[in-house]
Amino acid sequence: MLPGRISSDVVGIRQIRSACIFHNQRAVNSFQAERIQVALRYPKLSLIDFAARRNSSSPLLTSGPRQPKIERIKGLVATRQSPTNNMLFQSLRIRNVAIQPAHILAPMAGITDTVFRRFIKRLGGCGLIMTEFVSSEGMIRQNFRSQRYLYYMDEERPISAQIFGADPAHLAEAARQIEDLGFDLVDLNLGCPAKKVVKCGGSGLLRDLPLLERILRAIRAAVTIPFTIKFRSGWSDEEIVAVQVARMAEDCGVEALAVHPRTRLQGYSGRANWEIIQQVKQAVRIPVIGNGDVQAPPDAAALQAQTGCDAVMIGRAAASNPWIFRQLAELFQVGSYREPADADRYDLIRTYYSMLLAEDTPGAIGKMKQFASWFTHGVRNGTELRRQVQGAREAGEVLERVDAFFASLAPPQEATIAI
């Protein structure tokens, strides 16, 4: 066991690497992290034994002088850290907009509607939220769905609205409408990989930088609120344009950049290449927001250490673990964070579902089923809960089934994890 905390076999390679970086030590590669992991798990095992376990005769593993360094890092991971004054992502300003802490909920179509955004906001630790992307063409036609996407409440502030499109004049008009609606920021989507979107904006614009420049200048001239962009690294590995786009955007008066370093062709496969975030950060003076593959709080520390980014943006992980922003704040303040117990998960599911019902959200039952598959991860016997929710015919019945499921569980157990 690590001192009074968790069993060492819970400490994963990723956590070990993040811990080493987080506490201002040098980065360790996954090979070194693996050695630390084994050393934590089997305290009596010498590194020579470890080499034998790996069936390796690598001098890196067996050479004597490396032992003290490993011991030092082991201590670092195993010791509960004292509160740090040097809090990561404490705050960020985009002109007049204070983002505190600098943890941002990524825009996600079909997920980050007003109910989900308020839900995240109330859980704490999230400094900025964004609407899902809204078509500038739809806005100009006063399309019902576009208007619905732009509904927000004051408690969501600061809030950014994201638009997409490919026509400079229409995007400028859409941005003006965003400003009139009282949003704090307007963001342009340069990341959506969907076929029907890339024909008229999204990541398709990364292949036409002259058009992109006209768009950026048109939006900039149309609004006085801060203007930001969110972009992928490029169309394909052969067409990486992130640094070029970043410099051009800064030159056009864009005030912050969110970088999701995957290419359009990559979609969501493979890994986000954080090196590109680092290159962008080094290329511009405006704030850079790092995004992509932050799955647990320690990843955010690793992202900052590797890239120097000014804020972290989290998407998919927030859908299955909406506490992640609060956990980040806890991690950066006290060096550890609390994992939710069953009671917390019950509370979470009930609160979100009740919000959907109270607000007569269109398609509430569909959303309940969609979120059930995310929120129930980590719940004991979660498969049964998911089955129960999927089998319900109406929204009220979903709530009854959730109540009955949690009532049938044995008393919840507390769990705290640390790195």
Burial class (CB within 10 angstroms; exposed 0-12, middle 13-18, buried 19+) of 13: middle
Minimum distance of ligand FMN from residue 409's CB (angstroms): 30
Q: Which is nearer to ligand FMN, 229 or 248 (CB)?
A: 229
Identify residues 313-372 at the interface with ligand FMN (CB under 6 A). 314-317
Is 156 among the residues that bind ligand FMN (CB under 6 A)?
no
Phi/psi at 14 (nearest 5 deg)? Answer: -65, -40
Q: How far apart are the C-alpha atoms of 20 and 74, rounded to whole Å?
A: 9
Cα(first)–Cα(last) distance of the chain, in Å? 12
Q: Which is nearer to ligand FMN, 37 or 304 (CB)?
A: 304
Rounded CA Rg of the chain = 23
Binding-site member from 260, 264, 326, 345 for ligand FMN (CB under 6 A): 260
Q: Which is nearer to ligand FMN, 110 or 366 (CB)?
A: 110
Q: How far apart are the C-alpha atoms of 11 and 18, rounded to whole Å?
A: 11
- Considering only the stretches 185-193, 328-336, 354-362, 405-413, report the one whose residues sit in contact with ligand FMN under the rule CB under 6 A: 185-193
| Cα distances (Å, whole numbers) of residue 94 to 41, 178, 265 | 45, 17, 31
Minimum distance of ligand FMN from residue 347's CB (angstroms): 24
Q: How far apart are the C-alpha atoms of 275 and 243, rounded to whole Å?
A: 11
- Do the bridges between strand 103-105 and strand 311-314 make them parallel or antiparallel, or are there none, so unpaired? parallel
Is 291 among the residues that bind ligand FMN (CB under 6 A)?
yes
Is 132 among the residues that bind ligand FMN (CB under 6 A)?
yes
Cis peptide before 158 (omega within 30 of 0): yes
- Residue 252 bears catalytic tag: no
Taking Cα atoms as reference points, which of 274, 294, 293 lies closest to residue 282?
274
Contact between 38 and 74 under an 8 Å Cβ cutoff? The reply is no
| Residue closest to ligand FMN, measured at CB | 315
* One character per residue 198-227, x = contact with ligand FMN (rule: CB under 6 A): ------------------------------
Q: Which is nearer to ligand FMN, 38 or 109 (CB)?
A: 109
- Considering only the stretches 40-48, 89-97, 109-117, 400-408, report the one whose residues sit in contact with ligand FMN under the rule CB under 6 A: 109-117
Is 117 among the residues that bind ligand FMN (CB under 6 A)?
no
Active-site residue (options: 192, 200, 252, 309) = 192
Residues of this chain that bind ligand FMN (CB under 6 A): 106-111, 132-133, 162, 189, 191-192, 230, 260, 291-294, 314-317
Q: Residues with catalytic annotation?
A: 192
